[in-house]
A and B are shown apart, each in its own frame.
Chain A
Amino acid sequence: MAPLLELRDLHKAYPDGWTLSDVSLTVEERQIYGLLGPSGSGKSTLLRLIAGLEMPDSGQVLVAGRDVTRVPPHRRGFGLMFQEYALFPHKDVFSNVAFGLRMEGLERKRIEDRVAEVLALVGLEGFGHRDVSQLSGGERQRVALARSLAPNPRLLMLDEPLGALDRTLRERLMDELPAILHQAGVTVISVTHDQEEAFAISDCVALMRSGEVIQVGPPQELYRHPRSAWIARFLGLTNLLDAEVVAPQRVRTAVGTLEVEATDEGGWDGGSEAQLLIRPEAARIRDDGPNRVDLEVVARSFRGMHWQLEGRHESGEELAFIFSAGVDLPRLGETITLSLRPEALTLLGDTH
């Protein structure tokens, strides 16, 4: 069976020179697909191309195997939840949610039933007659979600769905949103610049940079095996060291010769240059074990669930690690000996 959505070599150039180049993607039925990237990476443009709000210069958009590239947005049967929601300020909550159903020409009774149903789904029973301007940020977000879910779209697109919310609300909705979406049984593409949000919501993430898709995979795979140093840094992984491969699974770095995990790809010859990624959860406080490193503590902060520690090696390299809240850390200026787990160390071939 054909996938729900397939993009084939979508290409779009703008007069200012910015280009979305040859993007191909496949989204399966009922998948929650995350488009992740910094601002200007082209994720919103890609979303608008899928929605039909913009036309590609070349390439195709296929839905269940059918080409919809030239179909106008209102005939695609997609839903789009806009960044900052674009709720109609002159209509109340009910009329906002009912809009798409009215466009379908449903009769009044069925519209009322469906609106009540989706409002219940997002937890806003009885909000129908509220004025949009009276809603809090979280309520607006839910109304926007209800509005785009109401007509049962084949594909729901979310543009920075949690971007406009404060931290506490975001944390809560990061749990609730996937639940609601799975319950609605809808296929979703969600755009965000926040990796935590993308990871929390999505089954599969496509990472974008400068108008190109540079890595696709499940969140945990992206995190464990970023394909380049840029991706690692974008994902918040800052422990990157220049490394020289001295033997399979052994690299020489400024903090010593370290043992790294075996990769399926293999292919690291002795003498080749690479970058070593040390993930922040790699360290354990112990004097024995592999990959021992001495660091002077330059910063430590308690974050509730965990400790964050920054240490400086005598070579000048600084590394940051997290530890469970239960451990005791030395004070600033003191030295700590750490053992780095080989399976949390990854070699990156693409150093940019």
Chain B
Amino acid sequence: MSRRANEGRVDLSTLSRLARLLIYAVLFAFLILFYFYPLTSILSLSFTPEGNVSLEPFTELFGRPRYLRVLWFTIWQAALSTLLTVALALPGSYIFARYDFPGKSLIRALTTVPFVLPTMVVSLAFTAVLGPRGLVNMALMRVLGFQEPPLNLQHTVAIILLAHVFYNYTLVLRIVGSYWSNLNPRLEEAARMLGASRWEAFRQVTLPLLVPSIAAASILVFIFDFTSFGVILVLGGPRFATLEVAIYRQTVHYLNLPLAASLSVIQILFTFALMTVYTRLQATMTLPVELRSRRATQRRPRGWREWIWVGGNLALMVVLLIAPLVALVQRSLTLGGGLSFTFYRELFRNPRGSVFYVPPAAAVRNSVTFALATVGLAVVLGLMAASMLDGRSTRVDVQESGDGSLLKTLWRGLRQLLDPVLMLPLGTSAVTLGLGYIVALDEPPLNLRTSPVLVILAHTLVALPFVVRSVLPALRSIQPQLREAASVLGASPWRVWREVDLPIVARAVVVGAVFAFTVSMGEFGATSLIARPERPTMPVAIFRFLGRPGTINYGQALAMSTLLMLVCTAGFLVIERFRVGGLREF
């Protein structure tokens, strides 16, 4: 009896170790083939122009104040944007964490929409509100009788900051808000009972407990602002450049690959350092700190003061987050002061027989196809990666394998490496990545240059971190006893994963899928380089319209952006419907 049981266990752990090894192999093969290989190709091409290593691009870079200014601008605009975003979103997080009010889930869903919108759409939405022909200026001219647009925010830092806040507000709202809502309100009440005023209780108790989540949100926001591309390109105009924009210009306009590559290296180093801090922080955030279910922590606002406080913040959200989108739709439907579908009709015409003509239906179809493929690939890989990263599920196996600490060290090393490495694509210049694909994957052994798979691979790389970051906290929240209970009841490791882990993380997987879908729909940097001219995606189509002069082209860009916004929002809603019912509260 005991011999049989023993044999069973040995078989089981060997199997699971084999499976584990396979999963690691698949993950690392994917990353090496489609991330490190293209990247090193482009880097080596840049640093060894004549076959031997040269650091000349770097010395050249630091010798030119122009690029130091780019670096400085990248840093300070990101810092300022982050600060603004956190300052504006913190009161909102509080309201979502502690109050229950009518329409809450709808407003929460609405605030998420901007985050999933492509940069092209957001940029155009902001020009639709604040540009010279935007809503605000039009209204001011009509009401106050200005002859010229009085407010010129086009190509200013202000509009860039605003767009960044618009983009990342929901990140802070989600990360800090959800952490806050699980924080036991009794802690603050305990402080109040011990003589602390409202403010004192917040400062002494709540704020210190929120710090990890605020820090995590800030770092993530900072990274997004740091690598900002489409927003700067369209809203900033020629005057402003972040590293990413500089990389793009050096690559596309000046074909200066060595300089672009060294800029990429600087950007990767920065983001990798930040990512490391972020992954550490997120691991501490999932430690249980007196967490409570939401129902116990939320209540209706009481009294007019609380209602004004809640209402004011909601109004801010709506104005900041919804107005640009409404303006985008409105402007795309307006020509010469009246309602018109001209811009949409123009999308289907090709008056000059241009070879670059993109039927919108085709662009939409391309985008959706790429996005669905990306979702499939990114979710499978993301689940694999998250299972590997969730340390607790592997502890037993590591201990059982026992023979020699070398193996143990190897497992742990693999795992620790995997986490920040998986986040790397998020901080890598998409433009550089696209370029790397062109350079590396167009010749044997791997010739994919003409294959649409290239786009899907690039999108999957960018989407993977989102999937992993969505799934991992859910996995980490699973009590190890649940898995132990399942295996004691006779479930194999695979069954444990399927019966316990998967159902619990299902909702997180859906969220990850939403992210993957929208990331793919909106990706522009890499796609602009690797998509075949005859198979453009929607953002590429929009950028082509913007590159051409005239009201009709601008209008078509607006129309296409509106379509892209609708597709993204629709996709978001469709996947949202597949949520697992019982887990909605968590």
Contacts and interface: CB of A to CB of B under 8 A. Distances in A.
A73 B190 contact: no
A280 B134 CA distance: 84
Interface stretch (B10-18, B192-200, B221-229): B192-200
Interface string A62-100: 000000000011110111101110111110000000011
Contact of A89 (B189, B209, B300, B302): B209
Given A89-B289, A90-B209, A74 B187 contact: no
A84 B186 CA distance: 9
B187 A53 contact: no
B492 interface: no
A73 B208 contact: no
B204 interface: yes
A55 B302 CA distance: 10
B189 A86 contact: yes
Contact of B194 (A53, A83, A103): A103
B209 A100 contact: no
B193 A88 contact: no
B289 A74 contact: no
Contact of B192 (A15, A73, A77, A104): A73
Interface in A151-171: 151
B342 interface: no
A51 interface: yes
Contacts of A87: 190
A60 to B, nearest CB: 19
Given A82-B186, A86-B186, A89-B209, A73 B290 contact: no
A244 to B, nearest CB: 48
Interface in A1-30: 15
Nearest to B100: A15
B196 A103 contact: yes
Given A15-B300, A99-B204, A103-B200, A86 B187 contact: yes
A51 B196 CA distance: 13
Contacts of A100: 194-195
Contacts of A86: 184, 186-187, 189-190, 290
A39 to B, nearest CB: 13
Contacts of A51: 189, 193
A80 B208 contact: no
A142 interface: no
Contacts of A104: 195
A77 B135 CA distance: 55
Interface in B81-120: none
Contacts of A80: 189-190, 193
Contact of A147 (B189, B194, B198): B194
Nearest to B205: A88
Given A15-B300, A99-B204, A151 B194 contact: yes
B98 to A, nearest CB: 14
Contacts of B196: 74, 99, 103
B191 A99 contact: yes
A159 to B, nearest CB: 9
Contacts of A89: 187, 209, 289-290
A202 interface: no
Given A15-B300, A88-B205, A99 B186 contact: no
B193 A79 contact: yes
Contacts of A190: none
A141 interface: no
A90 B195 contact: no
Interface residues of B, number: 23
A99 B194 contact: yes
Interface in B263-317: 289-290, 300, 302
Contact of A90 (B194, B197, B208, B302): B208
A242 B426 CA distance: 76
A74 B208 contact: no
Nearest to A157: B193
A72 B302 CA distance: 15
A192 interface: no
A136 B385 CA distance: 36
Contacts of A103: 191, 194-196, 200
A74 B191 CA distance: 8
Nearest to B185: A86
Contacts of B189: 51, 53, 73, 80, 82, 86
Contacts of B205: 88, 90
Contacts of A74: 192-197, 200-201
B370 to A, nearest CB: 46
A187 interface: no
Interface string A114-153: 0000000000000000000000000000000001100100
B501 to A, nearest CB: 26
Among B190, B198, B204, B205, max chain A CB count under 10 A is at: B190
Interface string B415-438: 000000000000000000000000
Nearest to A84: B186
Contacts of B200: 74, 103
Given A99-B204, A103-B200, A148 B300 contact: no
A166 to B, nearest CB: 18
Q: Which of B193, B195, B289 has the most CB of A within 10 A?
A: B193
Nearest to B194: A100
Contacts of A78: 193
A89 B211 CA distance: 13
A148 B201 CA distance: 15
A150 to B, nearest CB: 8
A221 B551 CA distance: 89
Contacts of B204: 99
Contacts of B184: 86
Contacts of A79: 193-194
Given A88-B205, A89-B290, A103-B200, A53 B192 contact: yes
A83 B193 CA distance: 14
A154 to B, nearest CB: 12
Contact of A151 (B195, B201, B289): B195
A84 B184 CA distance: 11
A151 B192 CA distance: 13
A187 to B, nearest CB: 15
Given A99-B204, A103-B200, A88 B187 contact: yes
Contacts of B197: 72, 74
Contacts of A147: 190, 194
A79 B190 CA distance: 9
B209 A73 contact: no
A66 to B, nearest CB: 18
Given A88-B187, A88-B205, A73 B193 contact: yes
20 contacts: A53-B189, A53-B193, A74-B192, A74-B193, A74-B194, A74-B200, A74-B201, A78-B193, A80-B193, A82-B186, A86-B187, A86-B189, A86-B290, A88-B191, A89-B209, A89-B289, A89-B290, A90-B205, A99-B196, A151-B194
Given A80-B190, A103-B196, 12 more contacts: A53-B192, A53-B193, A72-B198, A83-B186, A86-B184, A86-B186, A88-B190, A90-B205, A99-B191, A103-B194, A104-B195, A147-B194
Interface of B: 184, 186-187, 189-198, 200-201, 204-205, 208-209, 289-290, 300, 302
> What 10 A-B pairs have minimum CB-CB distances, sorted nearest first?
A100-B194, A103-B195, A86-B186, A80-B193, A86-B190, A73-B192, A82-B186, A74-B195, A90-B208, A74-B192
